[in-house]
């Protein structure tokens, strides 16, 4: 009696295994289709006019910011040079005063 009951379980196990594999394959196909749709939507968004305009504005702002920082660097460089010149002049006049005394 036991031998007859054991073989009855195996086909159920294998049939369930086959069924699980079929379900996984179906899910895999669905996932591939969903991924394809997602990529298509992402490409549409990528090509949208609003996004293009936003990118252009960002690039303009970025270039303006870099220009502003360059101007700022130049101004600081000029100020630094003038301060150094003033310090040198002050030290020369102190040295000249001390040498003359």
Q: Is the pLDDT of residue 14 over 90?
A: no
Instruction: Encode pLDDT of 25-56 as tens digits.
Output: 999 999 999 999 999 998 888 788 888 888 89
Is 0.85 topped by the overall pTM?
A: no
Q: Return the HEC string of 21-58.
A: HHHHHHHHHHHHHHHHHHHHHHHHHHHCHHHHHHHHHH
Give the chain's mean pLDDT: 83
Instruction: Encode pLDDT of 87-97 as tens digits.
Output: 888 888 877 66
The full length of the chain comes to 101
DSSP label of 101: -
């Amino acid at each position: 009696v036991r031998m007859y009951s054991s073989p009855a379980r195996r086909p159920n196990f294998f049939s369930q295994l086959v069924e699980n594999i079929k379900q996984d394959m179906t899910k895999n196909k669905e996932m591939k289709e969903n991924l394809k749709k997602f990529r298509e939507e992402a490409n549409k968004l990528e090509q949208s006019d609003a996004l293009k305009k936003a990118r252009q504005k960002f690039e303009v702002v970025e270039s303006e910011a870099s220009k502003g920082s360059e101007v700022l660097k130049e101004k600081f460089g000029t100020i630094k040079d003038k301060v150094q010149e003033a310090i040198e002049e002050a030290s020369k006049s102190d040295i000249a005063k001390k040498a003359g005394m």
